[in-house]
Amino acid sequence: MLTFVEQNEIEMELKKVALNDLHESLGAKMVPFAGYNMPVRYTSDIEEHNTVRNGVGVFDVSHMGEFVLEGPDALDLIQRVTSNDASKLVDGQAQYSYLPNDKGGIVDDLLVYRFNEQKYMLVVNASNIEKDWEWISRFNHKGVSMRNVSDSHSLFAVQGPKAVATLQKLTSVDLSSIKFYNFVVGPMAGVEYVIISATGYTGAGGFEIYVHNDHAESVWKQIFEAGAEFDIKPIGLGARDTLRLEMGYCLYGNDITDETSPIAAGLGWVTKFTKEFTNSEAIQKQKEEGVPTRLIAFKMIDKGIPRSHYELMDAEENVIGEVTSGSMSPTLGIGIGLGYVKKEFSKAGTEIHVAVRNRRLKAEVVKLPFVQK
């Protein structure tokens, strides 16, 4: 057991998002996550999950990191450190990508936003802010201006089929005209400059709203006023995890790490060899020659819930891999998961077994997503 003093030290070390006190006043269960004190749930994970799938919910994901890169060589730096081809971006467009390391693994996955030909924003995972900053800085040999604006900005993910109807009340920007992975900088909720991005981590549709901390509470409250007719609710990290898992979206630290091959992780689609980037030669060789393991999706046949680090086995109980993410799917009502297996077991329709405590439960490899958009 932690002593009172030790517990206090842990709490003192945790960073707090701008609306921390508001979340606590809403009755959120707060937990340490990626160095931040974060709301994991307000009511129940299943209720919050279904709110996003069927209506509209708001996640405060202000723990995410934002770096602004500016200057004539900003694109050159981004091209050097990321796997995707950022030269294909136009103003107002975003792109999913990752930072390869020099050992065959992944520093982080991220979003790249282009404002104009000399201004970009990188959005990175909270647990990797310092690591990513140091990594990108290592390659900044041409004096690109780099600003870490993570602590001064809040990020609200307004997700669900009623997200557009909710947010449209608060802006003159035609939200229905913003295509997926595009964004607009415009007025919202009385704030002149808000980044309104048609992105998300749920597969339920909606927007991610970047706003300065000075305006965060006002914008949050106006979003809830606008969404009252749709029974809008605050959503915690618990439901965020089940929502992203139903879509098969990778979670850094679970499904991708410093040691996982991006080709094995299925990230070949955001790996462009039209340019040179960190470890690109080795990654291209992997893509051409193949890799011994693959990240697969599976659903349970037998009743049971797969969890991270559970062993995956063949019919003879030989270990063939490991679960990286797993949960009960609130939408499907069955256990689902992601995990790495030997390549020969990665084809959809293959029967595998999950070691759940002392039992060996049947599961089937399936194609993603688990739940159709």
pLDDT digits (tens, 9 = 90+) for 262-300: 999 999 999 999 999 999 999 999 999 999 999 999 999
Average pLDDT value for residue range 187-214: 98
3-class SS letters over 183-224: EEEEEECCEEEEEEECCCCCCCCEEEEEEEHHHHHHHHHHHH
Check if the beta carbon of residue 67 is closer than 8 Å to that of residue 133. Answer: yes
Check if the beta carbon of residue 97 is closer than 8 Å to that of residue 136. Answer: no
Residue 2: Cβ within 10 Å count? 9
Q: What does the pLDDT look like over 108-152, one tens digit per residue?
A: 999 999 999 999 999 999 999 999 999 999 999 999 999 999 999
- Residue 5 clears pLDDT 50, i.e. is over it: no
Q: What does the pLDDT look like over 27-42, one tens digit per residue?
A: 999 999 999 999 999 9
d(CA 52, CA 158): 9
CA-closest candidate to residue 322, choices 302, 305, 336, 342? 342
- Residue 2 clears pLDDT 90, i.e. is over it: no
Write down the residue that tokens 């808000």 correspond to.
194
Write down the residue that tokens 């405060």 correspond to.
60
Average pLDDT value for the chain: 96
Structural tokens at position 121: 């924003």
Check if the beta carbon of residue 143 is closer than 8 Å to that of residue 161. Answer: no
Average pLDDT value for residue range 195-215: 98
**Crossing angle of helices 45-54/237-247, nearest 10°?**
60
Q: For residues 32, 99, 307 and 30, what is the CA-based torsion angle, rounded to 10 degrees?
A: 20
Residue 38 pLDDT? 98
d(CA 163, CA 223): 10
- Residue 153 clears pLDDT 60, i.e. is over it: yes
One-letter amino acid at 20 equals N
Maximum alpha-carbon separation in the chain: 63
Structural tokens at position 201: 């981590």
How many residues belong to the chain?
A: 373
Write down the residue that tokens 């995972």 correspond to.
125
- Say whether pTM exceeds 0.85: yes
Residue 221: Cβ within 10 Å count? 13
Q: How many CA atoms lie within 13 A of 124 on its CB side?
A: 27
- Output the CA torsion sign for 285, 291, 288, 296: negative
Phi, psi at 46, each rounded to 5°: -65, -45
Residue 358 pLDDT? 87
CA-closest candidate to residue 296, choices 316, 272, 321? 321
Residue 13 pLDDT? 84
- Cis peptide, bond prior to residue 369, ω within 30 of zero: yes
Give the helix, strand, coil percentages of the chain, each rounded to 5: 30, 35, 35
Structural tokens at position 61: 């994901």
For the chain, how big is the Rg over CA atoms in Å? 21
- Residue 196 clears pLDDT 90, i.e. is over it: yes
Average pLDDT value for residue range 155-173: 98
Q: How confident is the model at residue 1 (pLDDT cuts 50, 70, 90)?
A: very low
Q: What does the pLDDT look like over 295-323, one tens digit per residue?
A: 999 999 999 999 999 999 999 999 999 99
Check if the beta carbon of residue 153 is closer than 8 Å to that of residue 66. Answer: yes
Q: How confident is the model at residue 12 (pLDDT cuts 50, 70, 90)?
A: low
- Residue 8 clears pLDDT 90, i.e. is over it: no
